[in-house]
Structure 1
Amino acid sequence: MSDAAGSATPQTANSSGDTTTAARAQQPENLEQEVARLREQVQRLEREVETLRRTETGTGGSGTQAAASDADVGSTVLASVVMQGRVASVGKDRVVVRDAESGDTFNLFVTNTTRISANGRRVSPQQLTEGTPIQAAFNYIADGDTYATQIQAYPSRRR
């Protein structure tokens, strides 16, 4: 489908074959369903990882036995997440963030590769104050840890 300027309007097909615009997929109820689906998928993956940890041996691609410890399951990225929230607290190597949507807190580890910025400048984690609104991108690792890749602080809105 094209508009007057000739640009294509993205469309998706659902299971019954109907087409809908991509804008409809962005409606809040659809986003909430997608977040719930992703959380369910992460929980399923966590269960699979836990099962792998309990397994002493496994079969490699050649059919030979390999110890479960041969694979570094603990550093496997299960999901890359972007969230909106507020800083709950800050430590030397971590930032605790309260998710704006769920209210859950996430203990995000900060490394030397984490990019933290405020007002267009790079800042240290200690320069973030409690209650600061942020957008955080982080990797959820199989061992349950969360490592921040980027944190963008926004100015607080005055009431």
Structure 2
Amino acid sequence: MINRPSDTADRAAALTGALRLDGADAAAVAALLHAHGEPTLPRITDDDVTALRAVADRLWDVFAAPDVGTAAGLLNGLLTEYAAPPRLSAHDGTAWHLHADRGDEASWAEWFAATSALALAVVLAERKSVPGGLCASPTCGRPFAMTGRGAPRRYCSARCGSRERVAAHRRAQK
């Protein structure tokens, strides 16, 4: 399901981080998807998690891309492999929304790849810059989507940025 591209890009970052850094299991993935807009708690299997983790590995490379050309190339590869012409859907009692995966029988991994790549591509096209990054905090490294206005972000959250500024201040005081 695609709501606002920024919401879907944020979901891509959250799920990529959970799968790559947290070792999320099926229950954690289902809860995260529900928290990011799935209308009901989805049924996720261990096989789904394995396939989702493979997609997260590829999305990680998008978030780590050093420049817009590299990010665009990686996203184009994902779109070529996973996306289909967008279609409107109102499944499971949801409001009409776009899907870019290859049909209602698409696996969770195919859906995750197609919707995430499309959302991150929209963010890239709108911002004319990389669609995300990896947190600059050496104790974090979580992926994040750059969906806001203003200067490019370095940290995944205000908390990480504040923690690093405090640490730098303390180092300077010594």
Question: Is TM-score (shorter-chain normalized) higher than 0.5?
Answer: no
Larger helix proportion of the pair: 2
Rg larger for: 1
Larger strand proportion of the pair: 1
| TM-score normalized with structure 1 length | 0.26
| TM-score normalized with structure 2 length | 0.25
